[in-house]
Amino acid sequence: MHIDEKDLVRQPDSRASQPPAPSPLRNPAFRKLLAISITVAIGYGLVVPVLPNFARSFDVSLAAVGLVFFVFGLTRFLFGLVGGLVVDRFGDRFSVMAGLLIVSLSSYASGFATSFPQLVAARGFGGAGSALFIAGLMNRIIRTIEPEAMGRATGQFRSSFLVGISVGPLLGGVVAKYFGASATFHVYGTGLLIAAVIAYVVMAGQAVDRTAPRTSPLESLRAAAPLLRDRRYVLALAATFVGWWVLAGPAQTIGPVFAAEQLDFSQFAIGAAVTLLSIGEVLILFAAGSAADRLGRKAVLVPSLVVTAVAIALVGQIEQAPWAYFPLMVAAGAGVAAGSTAAGGLLADSIRARGAQQRGGSGAAVGVNQMAGDLGYLLAPTTVGFLAEMGGFGVAFIAAALPAALLLAWAVTLPNYRAERSGDDDQPAEAATEPGSVAP
């Protein structure tokens, strides 16, 4: 792939005379978007512990239960670009509302399902809505937040989702106990309807909505195409893929199997380890986001990839030291989370620098980035599981660390991209320092 060197142009460093960008949390529009995110995340967490057993109630195999999750991710992947094109054609607000309504209908349909095929179809329908929702919300965040604050915004957005999905399972267990498993889907569907109303109200009348261009799918793709020649965008895609690969495969799917079969962990210990994975994410997100904005994207991405690759590779080698599984899960979570803040900043930097916002292609760019994450989410469990069966857990976890290691090998050769404040949104000044350096 040819990479345009335009993104390597060095700009005069005027940051020393400028005050630091304010926290995204001081932006009322951003806080409203976080409210939508938390509402949706709580609902998602509501059904997560219930869905596997609900699927099993249709007397299907464990492999079939996995299909319920796979079809959701597959549909979201297939509709990733479509969601972005919808954003560019009809706007962020429409995409978010439409996505929430579709997932709400999907949730109600899941709760009313009387057969396993109906449940699978309902989940697949929900994946399409999820693609619309994520593309619209992320695009609005990029349009709302200044580029030099996007690292923090990404961390805060991810934190809000983690908080929501941490609270959701507890509520889901209570609802399922007293009202039945199907009731959790109805509660989730109702919560999404409430979130759609919130989105309708809080996303209306904002300047970024009134000034956003409306483009046809072809115009949107043309506006987004130059991003494929921008190293920042390609790096963001790769980092997003690696993050979801690590979470979905070695950390959340094969990791628990390894812990049970090789480390002889109880279900409680396995659950605690998965919780530590999320704790590792939360502990680092705010600091990593601030560092990505202040020190540069590479200054955060490179260490995060080192931590991620080493932690995942070591997991499969600790049969003689089972206790090490817990700190390695914390490290893996922290590495993935830190990398996500750098990826979010790189995504916003490249979209602004290439003028995709002004030409109406930012939705498509965000949609493709989401597809990169979904691809990692889909491929990792099966790939790492196959490697574990063929070569053992030790080999599988080393192989699972390779995507992070390969990205690290490329990332260290690139400049330490930084976003600089620009008074004119049409001409953002995205600057890069020299390769290998950390800007002051």
Q: Residue 282: count other Cβ atoms within 10 Å of its Cβ.
A: 17
Is 435 in a helix, a strand, or coil?
A: strand
Q: How confident is the model at residue 210 (pLDDT cuts 50, 70, 90)?
A: low
Residue 133 in this model has a pLDDT that exceeds 90: yes
Cα distance between residue 360 and residue 98, in whole Å = 19
Q: Which among 64-78, 111-125, 343-357 has the top mean pLDDT?
A: 111-125
- Largest Cα–Cα separation, the chain: 66
Tens digits of per-residue pLDDT, 20-32?
678 888 888 899 8
Nearest residue to 164 (alpha-carbon basis) of 35, 38, 48: 38
Given the structure tokens 């690290």, which residue do they identify?
Answer: 408
Task: Give the pLDDT score at 11.
Answer: 43
Q: Thinking of the domain 219-440, which architecture would CATH place it in?
A: Up-down Bundle (1.20)
Mean pLDDT of 150-159: 92
Question: Which residues are registered as beta bridge partners of 429?
Answer: 420
Residues 6+ apart with CB under 8 A from 5: none
Distant-in-sequence contacts of 182-186, Cβ < 8 A, 24+ apart: 182/54, 182/111, 182/112, 183/111, 184/46, 184/47, 184/50, 184/111, 185/47, 185/50, 185/54, 185/107, 185/108, 185/110, 185/111, 186/107, 186/108, 186/111
Give the pLDDT of residue 429.
34
Q: Report the 10 Å Cβ neighbour count for 424.
A: 7
341: alpha, beta or left? (left if phi > 0; alpha if psi -120 to 50)? alpha
Report pLDDT for 212: 64
Return phi, psi of residue 430, to 5°: -90, 110
How far apart, in whole angstroms, are the C-alpha atoms of residue 440 and residue 434?
12
For the segment 393-421, what is each residue's pLDDT rounded down to a tens digit? 999 999 999 999 999 999 999 888 776 44
In the chain, helix, strand, coil percent, each to 5?
Answer: 80, 5, 20
In this prediction, residue 208 has a pLDDT band, given cuts at 50, 70 and 90, of low
What pTM did the predictor assign? Answer: 0.85
Predicted local distance difference test score (pLDDT) of residue 423: 37
pLDDT score recorded for residue 420 = 45
pLDDT at position 417 is 77
Question: For residue 205, what pLDDT is reported?
Answer: 64
19-212 and 219-440 in the same fold:
yes
Q: 192 pLDDT exceeds 90?
A: yes
pLDDT in tens, 239-266: 999 999 999 889 988 899 899 999 999 8
pLDDT for 430:
37
Residue 415 or 108, more confident: 108
Per CATH, is 19-212 categorized as 1.20.1250.20? yes
| pLDDT tens digit sequence for 37-96 | 998 888 888 887 788 888 888 988 877 888 888 899 999 999 999 999 999 999 999 999
Residues 6+ apart with CB under 8 A from 117: none
| Per-residue confidence (pLDDT) for residue 171, from 0 to 100 | 84
pLDDT tier, 176 (very low <50, low <70, confident <90, very high otherwise): confident
User: Span 93-103, mean pLDDT?
Assistant: 95
pLDDT one-digit tens code per residue, 292-326: 999 999 999 999 999 999 999 999 999 999 999 99
Give residue-wise pLDDT tens across range 63-72. 788 888 889 9
The gap from C-alpha 61 to its chain's centroid, in whole angstroms, comes to: 30
Q: How far apart are CA 69 and CA 48, in angstroms?
A: 10
Q: What is the mean pLDDT of the chain?
A: 85
- Average pLDDT, stretch 182-186? 93
Sketch the domain layout of the chain as residue ranges. 19-212, 219-440
Distance CA 350, CA 287 (A): 23
Q: What share of the chain in percent tops pLDDT 70?
A: 89
Specify the 3-state DSSP secondary structure of 415. Answer: strand
